[in-house]
Every structure is written in C-alpha cells, then in structure tokens.
Amino acid sequence: MQRYLIGEVSKMVDVPVETIRFLEQKGLITPEKNRENGYRSYSVWDINRILDYQKFRQIGFSSKETVSLVSDCDLPTLLEQLDGKKQDAAYLAHYYQAKALKMKNFQSVLSHAEQLVGEYYILNRPENYSLFTRSYGTKRLELSSVKATEGGFAEMTRHYPFVEHIFRIKEDWMRQSSTQTQAQWGFTVKKYWADRLGIQLLPKMEHLRAVTALFTVIRIGAQEYFTPAVLEGAMAYMSEHRYELNGDILGIYIATVREQGCNVRYLELWIPIRALDTPALVPSTDQATRLKQIFV
C-alpha cells in the first residue's frame, strides 16, 4: 500500500500540518514511523479519517466532539448528535433569512433618509422593547453599569444588527420651562424582530406600545447635542396642523456619514401626537404607506 509524508497529505486534503499532528496525538490516525530517518508516513485510511474529521467539523462539531464521533461513536449516538446540529442549522437558516431582510430594510431606510429631512408624516410608531442606559439632565452624564441592567445589555447587544440605538426626551421634560436639555440613550428592538428572533423582554427593559406619531428624519452634526432647536421644524408643523405632544419623543439612530467634509448623523424622529380639533384629519398618502413599510 502506498504511503504519504505529512506534507503530501496536507496538500492533498488541504489540512494544516498542525491539524494532522493533532489528530495523531488524539489517536485518530496512526502513521508508521521510519526508524532510519524518523519520518512518519500515512496510509489512505489515515487520509479517509482526516476527511471524516473535516466533514464533521464543517457540520459544526468541536474538535473534541469530532474526534469522539469519528473514532468511538455508535449509530444511535451519531444520530442523536446530528439531530442537535440539524436544529442548530434550522435556526441559523431562520436567522440569516431574517438578517437578509433586515439588511434590505436598512438599505431602504438609508436610501430615503436624506430626502425625508424636513418632511413630516403621521404614522404609527412601531411597538418596541427599549433599554435606556445613559441619561443627561443635571449637567452631567449618568451611565448604568452592565450589571445594573440585569442581563438587558447582553440581551440587546448580542442581537445586533436587529437592535438599534435610541434616545428619548420625556413628555414632562418638554413641558418644563427649563432650558436644560434632558435626554436618555440606549438600545431598542422592534417587537416584530424580537418576536421573530425570540429576544427576551427582561425586567430592566421597557415595552413601548405603538402610538400615533409625527414622523420625520433629522440631520445633526456627528458630535452635536440633541437640543430643542432640533425640534423646531416638527413643532411648527404640529402647531400649523393643530396637533399637540402626547407622549415621550423617541429618536432612532440611522447612520453617520460624510457630507461636504464633515460627519453628520441621520436619525428617525417619532413624536407622539393628538389632534386639538375633533374630528382629526390624518394625512394618508401613497408615500406615507411606503414609509410605513420601510420604517415600521
């Protein structure tokens, strides 16, 4: 039977020499050692074992699991182990299908962002789960530790890109005469994505219900603070159309991009409103319907 040196085997099966030596140490392959020069040579059966190892590693088993599966595993155990990986694969297929849809949605948001600055629409703000970890309101920034979120921070950040960055200005802050800016920042995920991916609503998260809101996109400097001046256009629109504030204002970060030599941020702005007049006439246009599909 023809035999092959380790370098030849490595090239034939595209496996690093280190991996071949590891499999030898684990007893998965048993090369013959030449007593004269100390070189090891491998049989076709060794090569088959290496390929088996590669196959199971690609399925998703760890090195330790794969060595056991290839060298010492009965049929019922193998079937059981494969069933677990089948379930993992099904979840990944579901996850990447959702991710592709989310990326398509993100592209649509980006492609509309610039043209929506200064435009206003009445839409239903999407239901979401939010976790606020930073606040500013007493001339100092306050940060919550990861531990204080009781698992909320980990649950949110491990689900990027479905989780987005959010800021909030509470309704009662807007009604105060103080000029001091007060705001909160954190993370949010639309309930649509949370349900689809099984994201948990943990104690420190807030479940923000859907509300009728004035929607627009704002553009501010990359390091510009969010101040009441940013709301001037939206407030003027509300006054002209006889709407008043009816809840906390939310902003969703879209992206930071380079424009005319400067970095600027684009953000969605959602201002809950109610009509001062009865009955209220809510605009309904093809464009508003299209935006609802993109931003909700």
The pLDDT assigned to 142 comes to 85
| 182-228 pLDDT per residue, tens | 789 999 999 999 999 999 899 999 999 999 999 999 999 888 777 77
The pLDDT assigned to 109 comes to 93
pLDDT > 80? residue 139: no
The Cα–Cα gap between 69 and 61 comes to 9
Considering the domain 4-73 in this protein, what is its CATH number? 1.10.1660.10
Average the pLDDT over 144-157 and give the result.
94
Residue with tokens 């992206």: 255
| 227-259 pLDDT per residue, tens | 777 888 999 999 998 999 999 999 999 999 999
* In the chain, domain spans: 4-73, 107-295
The pLDDT assigned to 285 comes to 66
Q: Are both 4-73 and 107-295 of the same fold?
A: no
| 73-106 pLDDT per residue, tens | 999 999 999 999 999 999 999 999 999 999 999 9
Measured CA distances, 124 to 105, 212, 254 (Å): 17, 5, 18
Task: Identify the CATH homologous superfamily for domain 107-295.
Answer: Regulatory factor, effector binding domain (3.20.80.10)
Angle at 207 between CA 242 and CA 179, to 5 degrees: 50
Averaged pLDDT of the chain: 89
| Pair 127, 210: CB distance under 8 Å | yes
